Structure 1
């Protein structure tokens, strides 16, 4: 099977135009200003999301020990209606770039590659029954979302993570007509 990136090379111009648009800022009146929130911790508890050139994403926990893998919204849109998702086996050890599953749509089929080296600890069984969930919420890592698998991350995986694109770099990457 081809990787997601190879299946998406001929991206629709309308999709690329939408991705490059930004929402205009709106003026707020004094009563609409957000409340000031005081942080009680100096460390971030939010997971950090990064992307691959093959259109996968990973949310890495703040302690860099666990993560969630899925395909990007861009990839899901370009694939079209997803009709089948092959999930990885729990306990499987993968290196960065190894196939952890596959996705088939009405347009094409593509491998889902691991963004980092890791061990698969859980899979999204919902996708076996409802593969179209990927189209609806591809970047949702909650229960009912389109994530593919959860992983345990070691030192090599944390190092691999640092090489990936952040959201801004990924947005610039996909807005390039060749991706």
Structure 2
């Protein structure tokens, strides 16, 4: 499994890629593998401030629906529109075209897990 070292991770299996005052958020390769085939992503929080740890949407696989948790406090400025027609991008490219939201954050990513800490968490 691939876990990019430049990303930060959460215990809930989200990743965050910080770029200045904005960041991209998605789920990890581990999470998408555990969920199985993704069939729908439901995010309707554009323009909303979402606190760290709060739900910002849901992701639906063939057999389950899971909440998506915000890694740090921020305002959702963009949703990945590609996921409407192609939710399977989360399975095929979770760290690239399968990103979920772009946020303008007001918290800090310092408390999130490093790649090594995340690998330890999932036993890799």
* TM-score, normalised with respect to structure 1: 0.64
Where do residues 20-99 of structure 1 align in structure 2 (5 Å cutoff)? 48-61=6-19, 63=20, 65-99=21-55
Match of residue 101 from structure 2: 149
Instruction: Give the alignment partner of residue 168 of structure 1, picking from 88, 112, 116.
Output: 116
Considering fraction of residues, name the structure with more strand: 2
Mind listing any 5+ residue stretches in structure 1 that lack a counterpart? 1-17, 20-47
Which structure has the higher relative contact order (CA within 8 Å, separation 6+)? 2
Bigger-Rg structure (1/2): 1
User: Structure 1 residue runs of 4+, over 3 Å off?
Assistant: none
By how many angstroms is 1:82 displaced? 0.5
Instruction: Quote the RMSD (CA, aligned, Å).
Output: 1.7
Mind listing any 5+ residue stretches in structure 2 that lack a counterpart? none
Distance across 1 between alignment mates of 2:117 and 2:104: 25
- Listed one character per residue, the Cα deviations across residues 60-117 of structure 1 (whole Å, up to 9, x for unaligned) are 12x3x11000000000011000011002332110100111110010121100010000
Considering fraction of residues, name the structure with more helix: 1
Match of residue 85 from structure 2: 129
Alpha carbons 1:60, 1:68 under 8 Å: kept: yes
How many residues get paired?
Answer: 122
